[in-house]
Every structure is written in structure tokens, then in C-alpha cells.
Chain A
């Protein structure tokens, strides 16, 4: 069995003979292709005619592009270069379809490629920043991240959380974002991060602790007197 690069590793593999083969004996119509499962599309993309391959690729892309775009943008905290990341991720995925051991898991495999790409970008920009090489990294673009329906409170919270996330190591930041922004369960987060459950838990916990320490949120039941005093002193002092 050919080795795969670490980011392309699948946690769970299924024998290919268990998969339902696409109707390879005849040309698949566009409608049929759209109704196929990911596993069938993968097989078609590998074994179909060139036209079928293109359609299978497009079907896979159309089905999972939204997931990839949102994943990349929410990890980055902006939409800068997101199209490049998604383009490269799909290209890598299509080029390595024959290395995919469980074609049913195309989505999570694609997700792990996106995560790996984003991780590289974050780490690169962090190192560039540390060495003062002038690349400040992607700015957090809260307008791009939040929808028009987001409440002011939600926007403020997200802005603060992303500002904090920017200062975290890439691995911790990604794990926390996948878990708390994207809403993946721990197992899914571990799969996307291509690491063990224990590792991803440790990363999330680290990021969580940092955010809890630095996030300013006294909640609705904050004692008003203390806040009053703080504000009063400051205002009074400024006069």
C-alpha cells in the first residue's frame, strides 16, 4: 500500500470492494452524477472517461466547496487568500484521489488538506512576524467573518476572540476554531487536525485557558458596584 503524506492520512479506512461502484459500463448522465455518493464520485473521477472525470470533480467541488471556504476563512479570521487556499486544496485532493483509502470520507480528507494549508500559512506568518520580516499576517476582518444578522454583542465577542486567537500558536488556534467556531466534535476536530484525540484536547484546553484569561466578559450578573467604581474613578481621574 502506498504511503501517504501525513496530512492526507485517513483515520478510518474502508476496503474499496465494500464501495458501490459507479455505473462504469455506460456514460453517466449529469443528473446521475449529482446523485452519486462521494465514494462513487471518487471512483468515477479515477476511472471514468475524461468527461466523466471532469464532471465527477465538479460534483465533488460543488458539494464540498462551501465547507472548504468557510473552514479556511474561519481559521484565518479573514477572507484574504481563501480562494487560493481552497483552489490548492481541491487540486491536491484531486491529484491524490488514488491515495484516498476511504473514498466515503472525502469531505474530512479535504478538510484536513485545508487545515494543513491554513496551518502552514499561519505558522509562516507567525514566524515572519517574530523575525520582524514585515509580514504582519492576515488581519482579522470581522465584517467579512460575521453576517448582517449577527447581533452587536456577537460581533464584539467574535472580534475579541479572533484578536486573541491571532496571538496563539497555529495548532492551538486551529483546534479551538474547529471546535468552537466551526462546531466539530472532538473526534472530527482530531481528524481534521490529523492528530490524536488527546493532542487535540490538549490544544483546545490550552487555547481555551488563554481565551478565558484574556477574554473580557463579566457576564450579565457582574456586580454593578465594582464596575461603577472602576468607571467613576477613571472618569474622575481624567477630569
Chain B
């Protein structure tokens, strides 16, 4: 198979991006090296660097190569003897085929599918698609990682050994010594869920805002010092049984500031329309926002703008929705948010019969999303994880949102199946409860709602 063909099979999108790679030849660097070269050239007659390749110098004489070979052979012999003396076959050198070696690579990344890496010192880290983790320090004082972007699940349990793992997210630090946690970088904040064990969170605001989370605790923590915005509540803490924040929500009503919050960094009151956004009630959010003054210029958070845009869409107000989404596209949101807004604008302007704008935003969406529907995919994954956690109500709300936003999305069928399975599971549970109340034998447990989508590689538990 030709190399060209193989390259295409890999679908490496950066090969189509001429600007993806950095140009390392900065003017400062060029000048710096030239000044070194200039000095070396100027003293060429005095100092020979490198001596073996100076002008006029012949490659090593006739005995040069045999001598070198002899020396190399001797060194090899000494090396092998030393190796055998130190332990020989009992301590074989092992080359690991996996990307992580003893010292391991500095960058861990997942492409378009989750990727799990073993961690030096024990434990594993699972990266969600598109996530990148940097290793800052190796084992010794404990492993220190930095979540550059995306979402990671860190588990420090392995064969009874517990290694302290520290995960930096922006300026916040999350430390876990025994257990597992899920953490997602959402820009200014990070969403943290402790699955098992405990985790200590040090926020950039100082010690008074540190958190200690136990099993099933969830929190949204600030990852950099930012000035307060009325529409950006921070640092909630709750049990995971309650609706979890999504990557594109900004907190919820119970996102009350932790004790000791500085007034300059935490809002006193969360606007009602933000609460409605967090509860996925976009139409109500728009209504409450209008009652609150309705000045779109005061909202800068792209998540909240998307919420209001969705609300306008729910109220069939295409013009207002377009104005709101345009603020996202021209605002400070990330590419994913902008791509989603651009997609919405395509739909709106298609409905309004404005082909130029349709073409413009379609092209923008294509450019921002690189042909992938990041947001639909992210929402789909969120629905799956909520379904797996058994949060039926949240699944229904998110599924409704998915249907509205991506009526022809790739996940539609899967979501429909998930909803059917959840309904069946609930029905079975209700029937079982009814049978229990009547004193009847409970019989077989309800079917696993995920059996139908079972994975051959992962046997059902």
C-alpha cells in the first residue's frame, strides 16, 4: 500500500491546515543564531569548530575507522559485561510498545476517541476525545499533570498502590491520593466530579476557597482569577444525584458561592434567567431576561448567549435569535461555541431567505468545526454519560435540546434508543415495586437498559 494512501486513511486533519504548524524562525531567533555564527566565522582562523570537519581537514586517517570500530567493540563488550554483572537476565531491559514508557511521554492526548494511558507510579488516565494532558513532573513528589483542554478521568488505584496525583487546570490544582475523579476544562472554570475517594481543590483565589470533595461530590471551580460577571456564577458544590452542569452551562441556582468568597469575585445573586438557562428552560430564560431589562449588550458569556438564542428560537423569534447568535460568533467564545452559533445562523437565515448570509455562516461553521460537529458530539456524549449515571430527567431534557438543535444529528437514533430503554427500565422498576408491594416475588431484575447497545469488548457487569 502506498504511503500516500495510508496517510489518507489516517485522516489527519492538520495536514490540510497549512497554518497548523508554527513557524519557528522568528526574527529574534534568526538574529541570535546569526550573531553566534558571525562570531564563529570571524575567529575561524583561530579556533577550529568543529575540528573534525574543518576546511582542509581530511576525514580520519586510514587507521581512524578501524580504531573507532575497535573502541566501539570494546565499549560494547564492557557494557554487556556490566549489564550481566548487575543482574543479567533477572533484570531484562523491557521496551514497552505502548506510548507510555517508564518515564513516559510528556504529552498525552486523545484524537477522536477516548484514550487510556497508564500513569507512572500506578493508576490510569482516560482522556475524552480532543483532550490533551501535559505531564509537568514525574513520580517522586507525586505525579503532576496539567489538563490543557478537554476532559480526563484520573484513577490512582492500581494493585493496592495509591500514588498522589496532582492535576493542574489553569491556575487551579486538584489533588487526589486515593480514588478517581473526572475533570473537565471549561475555559474559565473546571467541572470536577469525584467518583471515588477524595480530592482537594486549590483555587487561584487563595486558601480560603479551597475545597475538599468526597465521593460523588461535584463542583465547578474557577481556574483563573477573573472579575465577577453577573451572569457567571462560580464554585458550586453538590451531590452528583442532582443535575450536573454541562460543558456549556455556567452554573445553576444552587451555585452559591462557597463560604469565605470574596465579594469581588462572586456574585451576590444569580439572575433568574440564568437559573432558567441552567435548567434548560430557554423560553423562560428569554422571558425572564426581558423582565430583567433585556439588554443583550450586558451579556458576554457565550453559554448564556446561546441559551438566550435557543430561547428566541423556541419562541419562533428568528431575528432576535440571529442577533444573539451573532454576538456569540463575534464574541470571545471558543471555536466550538462559535461553530454551533454559526450553524444556528445558517438555519435561521435559510428560513429568512438570505442566501448570502447562509453561505457566509456555512463557510464560517465549516472553518470553525473543521467539518466535525463538535457540539452535537459533545451533547451526545453528555446525554450518554447522564444516561449511564441514571439521571433520567436530565437525559430527557438534554435529548429534547438535542432534537431541537440537531434535528438530523448523528446521535438522534441513539438518543431515541436510550430514551426507550430508560422508559422500559422505569416501567420495569415500577412493575417490580408494585409486585413487591403486593408481596409477590420480585422475580428477575429489570433488564439492563444498555444491553442492546452492549460492547463486545466490555462484557456486561
- A contact set with B: CB distance below 8 Å: 2-5, 53-54, 57-58, 61-62, 65-66, 69-70, 72-74, 79, 82-83, 86-88, 90-92, 94-98, 129-131, 136, 139-142, 144-147, 149-164, 166-167, 179-181, 186, 201, 204-205, 208, 211-212, 214-220, 222, 224-239
When the two chains form the complex, which single residue of B14, B54, B417 contacts A95, counting CB atoms closer than 8 Å? B54
Is B74 located at the chain interface by the 8 A CB criterion?
no
Interface footprint category on B: 35 or more
**Complex CA–CA separation, A207 to B233 (angstroms):** 48
Q: How many A-B residue pairs have CB under 8 A?
A: 277
Q: Which of B55, B132, B454 contacts A155 (CB 8 A)?
A: B132
* B101 partner residues in chain A, CB cutoff 8 A: 129, 167
Complex contact B40–A181 (CB within 8 A):
no
Q: How far is the CA of A107 from the CA of B169 in the complex (A)?
A: 43
Main secondary structure of the interface of A (DSSP, over half): helix
Give the chain A neighbours of B20 by CB distance below 8 A: 146-147, 149-151, 154-155, 158
- Kindly state the separation between the CA atoms of A230 and B37 in the bound complex, as whole angstroms: 57
Top 7 A-B pairs, shortest CB-CB distance: A139-B106, A66-B25, A154-B14, A159-B109, A235-B388, A229-B455, A150-B20
Smallest Cβ distance from A174 to chain B, in angstroms?
A: 15
Asked if residues A95 and B113 are in contact (CB atoms below 8 Å), the reply is: no
- Tell me the B384-424 residues at the A interface (CB within 8 Å): 384-385, 387-390, 410-411, 413-414, 417-418
Cβ distance B58 to chain A, nearest Cβ, rounded Å: 7
Min distance, Cβ B353 to any Cβ of chain A, angstroms: 30
Task: Using known A-B contacts A156-B130, A217-B10, determine if residue A98 contacts B55 with beta carbons closer than 8 Å.
Answer: yes
Given contacts A136-B103, A151-B370, A156-B132, contact A218 B113 (CB under 8 A): yes
Asked whether A95 lies within 8 Å of B53 as measured between CB atoms, the reply is: yes
B41 close to A (CB within 8 Å): yes
A143: nearest chain-B partner, CB-CB: B148
Q: How far is the CA of A37 from the CA of B150 in the complex (A)?
A: 49
A87 touches which one: B36, B95, B111 (CB < 8 A)? B36
Q: Which of A139, A150, A228 has the most CB of B within 10 A?
A: A228
Interface residues in B362-387 (C-beta closer than 8 Å to A): 370-372, 374, 380-381, 384-385, 387
Chain B minimum-CB-distance residue to A139: B106
In the assembled complex, the CB of B302 is this many whole angstroms from the nearest CB of chain A, namely: 15
**Residues 142-155 of chain B: 1 if any A CB is under 8 Å from the residue's CB, otherwise 0?**
00000011100100
- Whether B112 contacts A219 by the Cβ 8 Å rule is yes
Report the minimum CB–CB distance from B29 to chain A (whole Å): 6
Given contacts A140-B105, A152-B335, 14 further A-B contacts (CB under 8 A): A4-B59, A61-B33, A72-B24, A73-B24, A142-B148, A152-B130, A153-B14, A153-B112, A180-B7, A208-B10, A211-B10, A218-B113, A233-B450, A238-B195
Residue in B131, B389, B453 whose CB lies within 8 Å of A225: B453
Cα distance A231–B384 when bound, in Å? 7
